[in-house]
Amino acid sequence: MPKKIGQDKGEVMLEGMIIIVLTMLLLVWILGVGFLYYQRFLVTSVTNDAAAKVAATFNNPESDLVMGYIEEEDLTSRDLYRGFRESQMLDVNQAKAEAYIKYMLKKTNFAGTIDEDSVTVEVKLVPDSALRRHVRVHTVCTFNTPFGSGLEIFGMKSRATYEATARADCTDIIDYLNTSDFAEFQLSGGGISSKVVKMINSIMDIFNHIYVKR
């Protein structure tokens, strides 16, 4: 028997609703998976950034962690044997790194996405040699994934916990300034008069000229 026109319209509408529902579920699932990858990338990126900033300012606990700014008197009044107080500086840097990571994770996610009580940050100072150190930052964070309901429909969890570890070599701005000043001092003659420096340079130029010709 031929189908009625009204019956055809009903079948098309029913098929369209099924397709729309499946498409919406698939879209929500794709968004949920996308946020899973985003959250993983975010934890890794923020941890790497924190490690680099802590390593650059570790020996200057009074400095700003984000900009690295420090007052001149804080540099000139520092203890010459500050390396023996690494445990005290570690506590300060631990607090700074933890506050920075929590702030960045919260600002780069939707409200309620971060379970702040689950965020743990651990900062360690690892010796490499007598004078070299590197900072190790370990972060653990639990997220309430946006569009997590779409993940649960497909048997996935809407809450995910991520861990990230970053390392960075410690640098001391005082060492950099001392090296720069020493190099500038040597280039300017190292306290020797400019005439003597010019004479030595002339002798070296003659020697190099003769040596190159040979």
Q: Is residue 4 scored above 60 in pLDDT?
A: no
Q: Contact, 139 vs 101, CB < 8 A?
A: yes
According to the per-residue pLDDT averaged within each range, which of 84-88, 126-130, 138-142, 191-195 is highest? 138-142
| Structure confidence at residue 191 as a pLDDT band (50, 70, 90) | low
| Structure confidence at residue 167 as a pLDDT band (50, 70, 90) | very high
| Distance set, CA 19 to CA 7, 11, 27, 154, 184 (Å) | 19, 12, 12, 17, 73
Which stretches of 58-136 are DSSP H helices? 72-76, 86-107
pLDDT for residue 10: 67
| Two structure tokens written together for 161 | 């916990």
Q: Is residue 125 scored above 80 in pLDDT?
A: yes
pLDDT for residue 144: 83
Summarize pLDDT for 48-77 with one digit per residue, the tens.
999 999 988 887 777 777 776 666 666 666
Please tell me the total number of residues recorded for the chain in this structure. Answer: 214
Q: Is residue 1 scored above 70 in pLDDT?
A: no
Summarize pLDDT for 82-123 with one digit per residue, the tens.
555 567 788 888 999 999 999 999 888 887 788 778 899 999
Cα-Cα-Cα-Cα dihedral of 116, 120, 125, 127, to 10°? -140
